[in-house]
Amino acid sequence: MTNFSINVGIIGAGLAGLTCARQLCDRGYTVKLFDKSRGIGGRLATRRVNRANQEIAVDHGLPFLTIQGEKTAALIDNLLRENIVTSWFDSSYVAPSGINSVAKFLAKGLEIERDFLVTRLENRQGKWFLNNNGQIRGEFLVIVLTIPAPQAALLLENSCITTMPELRSIVYDPCLTVMAGYGDSLPEPSPSPDIAWLGLDSSKRQSSPDYVFVVHSSADFAVKYLDSEDLEAVKLDLLARASLPLPDWSQIHRWRYALVRQGLAVPCLSVNSPLPLVACGDWCQGGDLSRNSSLETALTSGIAAANQVQQLLS
């Protein structure tokens, strides 16, 4: 029987965190999400660029949605009904107003505190409290970690919590992403092996003052240049490797945890000591360690985490 006074804290407002929160709220739990960023959605990310007195939406994270299983099929069906996404090409779906609108749809009605970086978990008299360099939030009976596994492992280490050692075995590939706008003519790119994906992002939208390309680097390229002090040079280098000319405007973004290279064959992780704690994300890949189903695994893991929270508190 659900206790409506139970408070659940979820760290991370990406796809897995939003899914877990929605599931728990629908079951009557009191849930609050925390995210270190000003926005939500993780790689469901849209950059807003002002050009010619017009705001351009540019998807610089996940470029589109695809049906990868039952969970993504159900999500895309809901998004189509709400007119949030539309079909694009090769069985892919895009959000004309920006893919972050998918995250906003999932977050509707949820309590989310942004710009709150949890630096330590604290156990005070049998309840969880979250510490952000002296700012305290709580109390919670259970915490769900949905941030990238290396960040979750570091948070537990900083909190002197030795459970969930499996988190340290999870490996991500990084990515460097360049957004480039061209006002006069449409270039013809010819990507080199250093380019993992290149797309004409402006083709997702009916009206755009510019042709806008999004270029995702390969993991090998990103490993070399992720921590470069001269990102401007890296940006121009990546555009050259895509055979794109100098743009009218451009931006670059680092994705330190872009894709899971080595995950775990579990739906989620959970412990009951020192207090109930659950971890989930697209690194929780069930029985399939394929890296090509990050949407499906994030959704599945978020639901599994909600089920585990309910079991821990029953």
- Are 125 and 118 within 8 A, CB to CB? no
pLDDT tens-digit series, residues 64-93:
999 999 999 999 999 999 999 999 988 999
Compute the mean pLDDT over every residue in the chain, rounded to the nearest whole number: 94
Per-residue pLDDT, 255? 98
Integer Cα distance of 22 and 302 in angstroms: 9
Instruction: Tell me the backbone φ, ψ of residue 239, rounded to 5 degrees.
Output: -65, -40
CATH architecture of 7-42+104-168+263-312: 3-Layer(bba) Sandwich (3.50)
Nearest to 67 by CA among 288, 304, 267, 293: 293
Structure tokens at 237: 């280098």
* CATH 3.50.50.60 location in the chain: 7-42+104-168+263-312
pLDDT beyond 80 at 56: yes
Average pLDDT over residues 185-213: 94
The domain defined by 46-98+171-260 folds into: Polyamine Oxidase; Chain A, domain 2 (3.90.660)
Helix (H, G, I), strand (E, B) or coil at 139: strand
Least confident of 4-8, 190-194, 236-240: 4-8
Q: What is the dihedral of CA 67, 68, 72, 74, to 10 degrees?
A: 70
Q: What is the dihedral of CA 284, 20, 167, 277, to 10 degrees?
A: -140
- Exposed / middle / buried, residue 223 (Cβ in 10 Å: 0-12, 13-18, 19+): middle
Q: How confident is the model at residue 3 (pLDDT cuts 50, 70, 90)?
A: very low
* pTM value > 0.85: yes
- Are 256 and 226 within 8 A, CB to CB? yes
pLDDT tens-digit series, residues 19-38:
999 999 999 999 999 999 99
User: Beta strands 120-124 and 127-132: pairing type?
Assistant: antiparallel
pLDDT beyond 70 at 43: yes
Structure tokens at 267: 């739906």
Per-residue pLDDT, 5? 52
pLDDT beyond 60 at 189: yes
Per-residue pLDDT, 6? 66
pLDDT beyond 60 at 290: no
Instruction: Tell me the backbone φ, ψ of residue 201, rounded to 5 degrees.
Output: -60, -35
Per-residue pLDDT, 184? 82
Per-residue pLDDT, 286? 63
Per-residue pLDDT, 207? 82
Q: How confident is the model at residue 52 (pLDDT cuts 50, 70, 90)?
A: confident
* CATH 3.90.660.10 location in the chain: 46-98+171-260
User: Beta strands 86-87 and 120-124: pairing type?
Assistant: unpaired
Per-residue pLDDT, 208? 87
Per-residue pLDDT, 1? 35
pLDDT tens-digit series, residues 127-139:
999 999 999 999 9
